[in-house]
Structure 1
Amino acid sequence: MATDLHRRHALAALAGLGACVLAPGAAFATAGDRVYLAAAWEHRGSFHIGVLSTREGAGQALQVHATLEVPTRAHGLCVLPDGSVIATARRPGDWLVRWRPGAGGGPQWLWQDGERSFNGHVLASTDGQRLYTTETDAETGASWVVVRDARTLATTAAWPTHGIDAHELVWDTWGNNGGAPTLIVANGGVPTAPETGRVKRDLGTMDSSLVRLDAHTGRLLGQWRLPDPRLSLRHLAWSPDGALLGIALQAEHDDAAIKNAAPVLALFDGTALRGVAAPEPIAQRLRGYGGSMAATPTGWAVSCPRAHGIALFSLQGDWQGLVPLPEACPLAVRGGALWVGGLVASLQDAQAPAPLNHPHGHQLQGARLDNHWVLVHG
């Protein structure tokens, strides 16, 4: 949690650097073969969010189209209907920013006051008027969904997630709450303490769960857990037909062998959660760590940066293979095709028999992409 002095120093430093740097021709084009991805990355000790761009087709370099330096490592992003990019700090985070690449005016910052920390993810309402962030109470460790006005970033409501370490949240495709919208939230369940930040403690008390909340009142409508309490539910994606929710898992077992062989994918059908195992000996290579989550008509994709690849499953959960890509992590789907970011290159249509390789341009040389990127067009 940043002190007031840290906030002043961070903002002063950003102002001195020039907060927003735009490449030539930064206004977004609408050409059908141009791809824009809002992303977060670290480069030579500094942290950035920005828009990356390339053209479809093998060999097209992935370039930095627009960038904003941020105080610490960013994590989740979302793009509003007006083109604004919302990003928040990795847990336990103390900042959130709204930034419109290519538009006049500076970024709009929100700093936590010390009572709560951001947990790395933000979700927008369909009309872009409200933001929903997962946050943790600094005193009790309990997690909350905080509703904010997207224009002012002011808090309008706060609801308990009935768990700890809440992470990603998505809209519920079932919407079976009398027609009212509902939210699905992944409680990661990993105990931490404000004074030690991300240091995990008392893992024997882990309590990860998936919850459904009324998006008008925050009322708890359901809660589900996996049989193995050491599997942390982290990232979420819907199947193309909205019938199944895929969840990327991160194992927290004390025994290294059990941890490395743990599943990286769980599926939720609206009534029950089940883990989906990869076959041995492939499972050991995945090391129990799912970095991000996506689904296409072909099936599920879980990025596994520790295995330097993307684990692929059918929509029913059958193993399909591991696509190699050094430090593979962020995933996005464009026109049914999976885009994956890696260390020195990215893949277009990663589930195809012959994925198309996009080398990273010079501005991304040595950069490490964070877990997530989001299509700006496509």
Structure 2
Amino acid sequence: MATRRGFIATLAAALTVPRLSWADAGDPAFLAAARQGEDFVLYGLGADGAARFHVPLPARGHAAAAHPTRPEAVAFARRPGTFALVIDCARGGIAHRLSPPEGRQFNGHGAFSADGARLYTSEVVAETSEGRLGIWDAAGNYARITDLPTGGIGPHELRRLPDGGLVVANGGIQTDPADRTKLNLATMRPNLAYLSPEGALDEVVELAPEYRQLSIRHLALGPDGATAFAMQWEGDPAEPVPLLGLHKRGAAARLCPPDEAEAWAMKGYAGSIAWAGARIALTSPPGGVVHVFDAQGGFERAIRRADVSGVAPLGDGLMVTDGTGAVSRIDSDGLAPLQRFDLAWDNHLVAL
């Protein structure tokens, strides 16, 4: 029979076990999914672009969410997917496997609360593409808590706001749950939705009617409280449209076109977005180009790089990844390759 003294000794021993931190995983600065031969992996990369760790994935990954204190990353399946893996980045194993409720699908992105106690996941009802916000108990073995509406159809990326609320990119596209055929392009209505820390829908921002076929996909937050959003054009391919938008709470969204000479460069498709200091960057894998804007949405320059997709802030500069396996830095001097791997980087580069 356990004694009181034995119980106290066991408790004391447990409390003295050091907790692992991101330093135990090599202090990575970024997370990125990739295809390596016939396999799929998640990498942790340093600020120099070198590998800090890598772990296998069961299928193609999309984005990841990093826990704010523990060396844990949640790797999401390429949308629509049914797996999200909580990866122990220090030990290299899978700590938990998350599955959405029956009839739901993950939609590629997630975010932790500031204290790391909760994980929020972008989800859809498979049959209708209705957006749902999945809420998981990250402090209690990632048990499912509940889910709430995102305020739109086809949510993709979500970001935690400084007040603990969330902003969600509702892409507006209803898709066939089996083959991802787009079903509502003639009537789609994308929006930005702001949710309170309690999950209530605080504000919904739609685009002007002539831009309703601009699917809002990815998000970046600025130091002044603005949201930058990257879009993909589902309308007439012969019509060039802005792919960057800016929004501040309580105001209308504002679209930011590039110079006329660059209007066609991105081929209607912005893959990723990052806000670094006074710069905002959009990437386009099909266009093979990075468009750089100032913080007010004024176009600055274009940088060519084949199959470029992932982008994240690195101080006042930017880090980008591409399908050739390169990891590169962008600063005032242009693009400088840092590392090259024998793999193809996937859509996103997530800053820790």
* Bucket of the pairwise TM-score, normalised by the shorter protein: 0.7 to 0.9
Letter in structure 1 aligned against 2:189: D
In structure 2, the residue matched to 1:141 is: 129
User: What RMSD in Å do the two structures reach over aligned CA positions?
Assistant: 1.9
1:105 Cα offset (Å): 5.3
In structure 1, the residue matched to 2:242 is: 263
Letter in structure 1 aligned against 2:200: R
**Partners of 2:80 and 2:258 in 1: CA distance:** 31
**Partners of 2:299 and 2:30 in 1: CA distance:** 28
In structure 1, the residue matched to 2:41 is: 48
Spell out the pairing of 1:222-301 with structure 2 (5 A cutoff): 222-227=203-208, 228-239=211-222, 241-253=223-235, 255-258=236-239, 261-270=240-249, 271-301=251-281
| TM-score, structure 1 as length reference | 0.81
Letter in structure 1 aligned against 2:73: V
In structure 1, the residue matched to 2:3 is: none
CA change 1:102–1:335 in 2 (3 A) is same
CA change 1:335–1:138 in 2 (3 A) is same
**Partners of 2:29 and 2:308 in 1: CA distance:** 18
In structure 2, the residue matched to 1:66 is: 53
1:167 is aligned to 2:160: no
Question: CA-to-partner distance for each residue in 1:346-366, whole Å, 9 max, x for gaps?
Answer: 222x14124332131xxx22x
Question: CA-to-partner distance for each residue in 1:15-54, whole Å, 9 max, x for gaps?
Answer: xxxxxxxxxxx95446xxxx64211011223221121346
Question: CA-to-partner distance for each residue in 1:258-286, whole Å, 9 max, x for gaps?
Answer: 1xx12110010212112111122311111
In structure 2, the residue matched to 1:88 is: 76
Letter in structure 1 aligned against 2:244: L
**Partners of 2:63 and 2:301 in 1: CA distance:** 27
**Partners of 1:355 and 1:284 in 2: CA distance:** 21
Percent of paired sites with the same residue: 30
SS across alignment from 2:182? coil
8 Å CA contact retained: 1:114, 1:138:
no
**Partners of 1:123 and 1:158 in 2: CA distance:** 14
In structure 1, stretches of 5+ residues that fail to align are 1-25, 56-61, 176-180
Number of equivalenced pairs:
324
In structure 2, the residue matched to 1:211 is: 193
* Residue from 188, 192, 196 that aligns with 2:171: 188
Letter in structure 2 aligned against 1:82: R
8 Å CA contact retained: 2:158, 2:166:
yes
In structure 2, stretches of 5+ residues that fail to align are 1-22
SS across alignment from 1:281? helix
The structure, 1 or 2, with the larger RCO (C-alpha pairs under 8 Å, 6+ apart) is 1
SS across alignment from 1:284? coil
8 Å CA contact retained: 1:262, 1:287:
no
The answer to which of 138-147 and 282-291 deviates more is 138-147
8 Å CA contact retained: 2:277, 2:315:
no
8 Å CA contact retained: 1:312, 1:351:
no
| TM-score, structure 2 as length reference | 0.86
1:158 is aligned to 2:147: yes
**Partners of 1:368 and 1:104 in 2: CA distance:** 21
1:339 is aligned to 2:319: yes
8 Å CA contact retained: 1:166, 1:186:
yes
Question: CA-to-partner distance for each residue in 1:160-180, whole Å, 9 max, x for gaps?
Answer: 11211101111234x4xxxxx
1:220 is aligned to 2:207: no
